Every structure is written in C-alpha cells, then in structure tokens.
Structure 1
Amino acid sequence: MKCEGGICVKPLTTKELGYIADMLSNEDLLAKRCVTLANQSQTPEVKIMCNQVASQHVQNYNQLQELLQQHANLAPTQAQ
C-alpha cells in the first residue's frame, strides 16, 4: 500500500487488471465503431452524435490508461 497526501492506495489485483484490460479493449472498439458509423452516415445529425460518442469512448480509454499509470508504481518489481 502506498500513501501520498493522506490518500492510501492498494496495488490492483490481477483480476482487477484483467477487468481494466477488457474495458480498454471495449472502449477502443466502441470508439472505432462510432467513427466508422459517423464516416458512413449521410445524416449530419447522426455524424455529429456518433463523433460525440466516439470522443466519450476515447476519453474513457484515456482515463483507464491514466489509472493504470497511477498504479504502475505500486506493482511489485519482482515476483513474491
């Protein structure tokens, strides 16, 4: 457990890391599908909406990446 500024954080478990990896994959796929749909759509409103949804999925992906980076320094450097 690492404490910084009065906040203590436990390292992520293998199971939690697996869930995050799945979420990253899902967010990436959803963003790509939304962009594809936006590019294929002939309706301006649909293009706008799909691009907005794609942006939200990219934002979710980036937040998950940041979470992993914050926890990377908590991971053991050697197998225990």
Structure 2
Amino acid sequence: MQNQGNQSLSAKEFAYISDSFKNEELLTKLCVQGAVECQTPSLKQTLVQLSQERLQNASVLTNALQQQSGITH
C-alpha cells in the first residue's frame, strides 16, 4: 500500500487497517498456541507457517500505518 499523491487515509480506511491488524494479531496468537499444543507434526508445521504469514501481514500493515503517519521507526 502506497500513499498516492499525498492523500491521507480517511477515518474509515484507518479503522479498517486497525481492525485488520488486530485480526492478524489474534490469528497469529491462535496459530502459535495451536502449534505448541499440536501432536501431529504436519499440522504443527502448517500452523507455524500460518503464524509466520500472519506476522508478515501484520508487518505490512504496520509499515503502511507508519508511512501514512510519517513515523520512521
């Protein structure tokens, strides 16, 4: 997601990104918990992979919010 022509996020867009971030965080926690408790190696591997994907998505959302707000770190 890029800031097009210095346009700001609307309140609705910001709320959507915020909700998406919260959802990714919850999904990550659930996948990690499932991987820790899982006894089936293939399922454990799938849950670990899913948790990594969720973390990556959260990172993308965080970067988008930082770019929008001008925060550099």
Runs (5+) with no aligned partner, structure 2: none
- C-alpha distance in structure 2 between counterparts of 1:13 and 1:65, whole Å: 17
Gaps of 5+ in 1: 74-80
* Greater fraction of residues in helix: 2
Q: Which residue of 1 aligns with 2:9?
A: 12
**1:16-72: CA deviations, max 9, x gaps?**
000011000000000000000001100111111000000000000000000001100
Give the TM-score normalised by structure 1. 0.80
Q: Which has the larger radius of gyration?
A: 1
Which residue in the other structure is 2:39 paired with? Answer: 42
Q: 1:8 deviation in Å?
A: 1.8
Which one has more relative contact order, counting CA pairs under 8 Å at least 6 apart? 2
More strand by share: 1
Q: Which residue of 2 aligns with 1:53?
A: 50
- The RMSD of aligned alpha carbons is 1.4
Residue in 1 aligned with 2:27? 30
Q: Percent identity?
A: 37
Structure 1 CA distance for aligned equivalents of residues 6 and 13 of structure 2: 14
